[in-house]
Amino acid sequence: MSYKILEEYTQPLVDNIKDNYLSILKNVGEDPKRDGIVKTPERAAKAMQFLTQGYEMDAEQILLGAMFEEDYEDMVLIKDIELYSLCEHHILPFFGKVHVAYIPDGKIVGLSKIPRVVDVFARRLQVQERLTRDILDAINKTLQPKGVAVVIEAQHMCMMMRGVQKQNSATTTSGFRGQFKESETRNEFLKLIS
């Protein structure tokens, strides 16, 4: 039995990006006609289009598509959401985990929509600080909950592979709105994700 992964690409965009990757390969001294490299520009172009598909997505529409009235007033926590993004400074990956919590105010959202919101903003050229705020603000604006919390823990290849070359470093960013600004609620959230 076999399976097929459906990936869609905009061919004119792939062709344009492919030409740029071909130029890069030549400029770094690689032979673009070498057997292992011949298809690399097209593969890299498709990868770049996939890794930046967040520009074509709308977090608000994702959340609105699965929002439900519900009389639930306690914390909803989705933790350890896998994160993969590209640093806008070097176009190198950063990766880690995202923890998101909200306290509903009459509306909840389908649980799978929170990781999708993470991907909307992660699949763009990013800095971790803005990524944290983007996720937080999208959930806060659309759901209008009593509070929202986001913590991101990530490792950055731009720090690991080049520059300071610190392989064991990690960066943590956080953002809090509403009731999560109160120390008791924030501390409960932080305890649950530790």
Side by side, the strands of the sheet bearing 171-178 are 125-126, 76-87, 93-103, 147-156, 171-178
Given 70, 89, 129, 167, the catalytic residue? 89
Given 99, 126, 156, 179, the catalytic residue? 156
Concerning whether 89 is annotated as a catalytic residue, the answer is: yes
Report the C-alpha gap between 96 and 167 in whole angstroms: 14
Given 73, 88, 129, 182, the catalytic residue? 88
Strand partners, 103: 147
Rounded (10°) angle between helices 11-27 and 40-51: 120
Concerning whether 99 is annotated as a catalytic residue, the answer is: no
Describe the chain by its helix, strand, coil percentages, rounded to 5: 45, 25, 30
Concerning whether 87 is annotated as a catalytic residue, the answer is: yes
Given 30, 42, 155, 158, the catalytic residue? 158
Concerning whether 182 is annotated as a catalytic residue, the answer is: no
Concerning whether 188 is annotated as a catalytic residue, the answer is: no
Concerning whether 155 is annotated as a catalytic residue, the answer is: no
Given 99, 126, 128, 179, the catalytic residue? 128
Report the C-alpha gap between 95 and 8 in whole angstroms: 24
Given 90, 153, 155, 188, the catalytic residue? 90
Given 87, 99, 126, 179, the catalytic residue? 87
Concerning whether 88 is annotated as a catalytic residue, the answer is: yes
The conformation of residue 50, written as its DSSP 8-state character, comes to H
Judge contact between 80 and 99, C-beta under 8 A. Answer: yes
Q: Known catalytic residues?
A: 87-90, 128, 156, 158
